Amino acid sequence: MADDIKMSDRTFEEMGFAKLDTDRKRRTGFAEVVFCERKSDEYLIEIYKKLYEKDGCVFGTRASEHQADLIKEVFPQVEYDPVSRILQIKKEPISSAEPTLIGNIAVCTAGTADLFVAEEAAKTAEYFGSKVTRIYDVGVSGLHRLLSRVDDINASNVVIAIAGMEGALASVIGGLTDKPVIAVPTSVGYGVNLGGISALLTMINSCANGIAVVNIDNGYGAGYMATQINRLAVTGKVKED
């Protein structure tokens, strides 16, 4: 790495109940994100306060409507999306112009029921500075829908393919594009879908090349990894200036 980092250095904020990794953005190019689910009200508020104090912005995943209302009492500018369950405070722009998003990530879903994962991935990528093209409801049960968007897929730097049921979408996209594909199995499906395990097994056994797989319903992980690839495609490096 360009910067010499001594792991013995205190590069975190001690809060007693949590150790906030305030140095993460310098090391990795991405600030720490809050996993909101199962955090107590008191802890969640204190974490948001401390991260906002440090960076002027906070990104939280898997937040409930109750948690959104709680944070809104302290930070009226917070934005909550009930589909993705993202709870974010965006950094105030220096000028009135919207911040420029770089590159292009194609986020594709097999069905509308997969949108909760897709929007988690898309909003994660956008928060970290990537342009996102949403290509939804293009599952293999109507292949013509996907084929109508191949040009859009090929215009991206990386593709996120999200599917439940049998999870075939990633394999089909992998055979249609030269872009890397991040496959996300979802827990959407009947009976032997087994909460996403059938889609997971299909994706990790894909015969198409250039496919990597993240965990079931892990839209955040896919959006993060896609942003790393997108940054490399645009700037040649993972870390931001």
Other C-beta atoms closer than 10 Å to the C-beta of 98 total 7
Domain range for 123: 102-234
Pairing of strands 13-14, 19-20: antiparallel
Taking 70 as the threshold, does the pLDDT of residue 1 lie above it? no
Q: Are residues 84 and 106 in the same domain?
A: no
| Better-scored residue on pLDDT, 57 or 116 | 116
4 versus 184: the higher-pLDDT residue is: 184
Nearest to 152 by CA among 133, 170, 139, 169: 133
Task: Inform me whether the pLDDT recorded for 155 exceeds 80.
Answer: yes
* The pLDDT of residue 5: 55
Q: Name the phi and psi angles at 84, rounded to 5.
A: -85, -20
**Cβ-based neighbour number of residue 172 at 10 Å:** 22
The pLDDT tens digits of the residues spanning 110-137 come to: 999 999 999 999 999 999 999 999 999 9
Please count the structural domains in the chain.
Answer: 2
Give residue 6's pLDDT: 57
With H, G, I as helix, E, B as strand and everything else as coil, classify residue 14. Answer: strand
Query: Which of 89, 119, 144 finishes a domain?
Result: 89
Whether residue 124 sits in one domain with residue 219:
yes
**For residues 69, 74, 76 and 80, what is the CA-based torsion angle, rounded to 10 degrees?**
-40
Q: Is residue 32 part of a domain?
A: yes
List C-alpha distances in Å: 119 to 107, 142, 227, 232: 9, 22, 14, 23
Residue 206 has pLDDT above 70, yes or no: yes
What's the whole-number mean pLDDT along residues 91-95? Answer: 67
